Chains A and B, each alone.
Chain A
Amino acid sequence: MSKEEMLDMEARFERYVAAENKVEPKDWMPEKYRKTLIRQISQHAHSEVVGMLPEANWITRAPSLRRKVALLAKVQDEAGHGLYLYSAAETMGADRQDLIEDLLSGKAKYSSIFNYPTPTWADIGAIGWLVDGAAIANQVMLCRTSYGPYARAMVRICKEESFHQRQGYEIMMALAAGTPAQKKMAQDALNRWWWPSLMMFGPTDENSPNSALSMKWRIKRKSNDELRQEFIDKTVPQAEFIGLTVPDPDLKWNEERGHYDFGEIDWQEFYDVIAGNGKCNKQRLHARNVAHDNGRWVREAANAYAEKQAKRRKEESSAA
């Protein structure tokens, strides 16, 4: 393809997605679109899988059997979501094993939020309510993303996620309505998770250079700042309803804008955690590496057995 033809194809592609058409795996797409999506989808998948760890941490210690099954089912869903997303990336020719290698070596990123620790039970409530709440805002938008398999995975994920946030909020409600010790636990968790949750939407629009292209290609449909504002507007009344205090002295309803004004986010902390300096970065990557390494013989054995069986079947049919 000549350079002119390529530019023409790209222009046609842009018009195509701008008209709200979906792109399917075998359709022509700009190489950069493919690369951007593989990176984004696989990061998203890694986040689901690493995100299992801070919550799985509490499965054996959940305070009641009802909470235990809910948490187990929730963490299991995260594994499912990771799987759906890896599958979506595979439709673009990526290989799950390669993507996982990139995660394990530290080359690929995942959502920094999962590098924060879950020392108390209230953290399970806060993660469901805030972290899943923030994730859902992003995921609802992605249900309409231009790449078909990604959009379909997100539709499935959103359907399943709807219980996650309710599960988290219900935990916080019970704590906030409980004894002073429980309320303290809930407020402490909100204090620790509030700001990191806001950081989940990514840098401010002026510091997010890739966003414009993603918007043009209809991968993203709302900017980081828009999504963040939506989340804050939705979440602050939920905190007030159960009598918890959002840890931001500058938080104030702005009648004119019809939104909450909020304080300055500590972006240095955000970049520090991305750079590997969160409390749990090493622990999370280590856990994933151990699981992957310890699972190798399991995966190999299953393949070896399948090969033997196939061979046996072949011998049987040729003998018959």
Chain B
Amino acid sequence: MEAKEKYVLRLADNALILGQRLGEWCGHGPILEQDIALTNVALDLIGQSRMLYQYAAELKNDGSTEDDIAMKRDVFDFYNVLMVEQENGDWGKTIVRQFFYDTYNYFLYEALCTSTDQRLGEIARKSFKEIAYHAQFSAEWVIRFGDGTSESHERVQAAVDDLWEFTGEMFTPDEIDLAMTEAGIAPDLNQIAAQWKRKVTQILDIATLKMPESSFMQKGGKVGEHSEYLGFILAELQFMQRAYPGMQW
């Protein structure tokens, strides 16, 4: 598989798996207004994944559709970061996961807007407005929970501590990332890491939350080495296509 195709799949899988996770909340949110708000984020993410899968299908050029790519690969062929497949947990954990990921996505897509790859640039420019809103939304809520009640503070601090070990993977470049940076298709992840860290430090500080000190970081998602969660996510995501192969819906 060509490096660019794999890179596009990483972006697509991140968006789809996180969108799928947020879809689990629909109908179960803490209040109607927030249920609607989070579903909007889910819709944006799945919409972004579709544009990216369509592009991946063009790169593959073997007649595959967006659904073929989303529904017919097994766990080891998915390249999303581990962060997005983590369980929703309580609403606070979901919001913290969003905050870590949205902030990363914000700086990443901001840079992708000027990608030398024209198609990716177009997709990024279209997605960036949505992502900018997501980043603002999750940061605002992290502040409210951190500086809300003692219960909310404890809950989100626990979520920050829990999810911290999944942040490293987003910024650790492998040969595909390096090739993309080299070609001017994607930004240098070190630069994204610095921007991310500045923003996250600032928001956690306003939220009166502590930045975890642990430096151990999980990795593997980007190369198809996943947690147990992804198998279950795919079991639901792909159920219909697997149970009724080759049909039109």
Contacts and interface: CB of A to CB of B under 8 A. Distances in A.
Q: Are A and B direct contacts in the complex by CB distance below 8 Å? A: yes
Interface of A: 49, 52-53, 55-56, 59-69, 72-73, 75-76, 79-80, 82-83, 86, 121, 171, 174-175, 178-179, 181-182, 287, 290-292, 294-302, 304-305, 308
Given A62-B240, A69-B46, A72-B26, A174 B249 contact: yes
Contact of A76 (B28, B36, B49, B249): B36
B95 to A, nearest CB: 9
B249 to A, nearest CB: 4
A301 B148 CA distance: 4
Given A76-B40, A291-B30, A68 B23 contact: yes
A287 B239 contact: no
A65 B53 contact: yes
Contacts of A296: 30
B70 interface: yes
Nearest to A51: B27
Interface in B45-69: 46-47, 49-50, 53, 66-67
Contacts, number: 139
B46 A302 contact: no
Contact of B28 (A64, A287, A298): A287
Given A72-B26, A301-B151, 6 more contacts: A60-B24, A72-B23, A75-B39, A295-B29, A301-B149, A304-B152
A21 B91 CA distance: 45
B144 A302 contact: yes
B35 interface: yes
Nearest to B36: A79
A23 to B, nearest CB: 26
A56 B27 contact: yes
A9 B92 CA distance: 53
Given A69-B43, A304-B149, A53 B27 contact: yes
A56 B26 contact: yes
A56 B26 CA distance: 6
Q: What 5 A-B pairs have minimum CB-CB distances, sorted nearest first?
A: A295-B30, A301-B148, A301-B152, A56-B27, A63-B240
A298 B236 contact: no
26 contacts: A59-B23, A60-B20, A60-B23, A61-B237, A63-B240, A65-B50, A65-B53, A67-B249, A69-B50, A72-B46, A73-B43, A76-B26, A76-B39, A76-B40, A80-B36, A175-B249, A291-B30, A297-B92, A298-B31, A298-B34, A299-B30, A299-B31, A300-B152, A301-B144, A305-B147, A305-B148
B32 interface: yes
Interface residues of B, number: 50
B133 to A, nearest CB: 16
Nearest to A86: B32
B96 interface: no
Contacts of A66: 50
A68 to B, nearest CB: 6
Contacts of B47: 69
B237 A300 contact: no
Contacts of B240: 61-63, 121
Given A76-B40, A298-B91, A305 B143 contact: yes
Contacts of A178: 247-248
Given A79-B39, A302-B144, A295 B91 contact: yes
B39 A72 contact: yes
Given A179-B247, A295-B30, A301 B145 contact: yes
A75 B28 CA distance: 11
Contacts of B24: 59-60
Contacts of B149: 297, 300-301, 304
A270 B33 CA distance: 32
| Most chain B beta-carbon contacts within 10 A, residue among A49, A299, A305 | A305
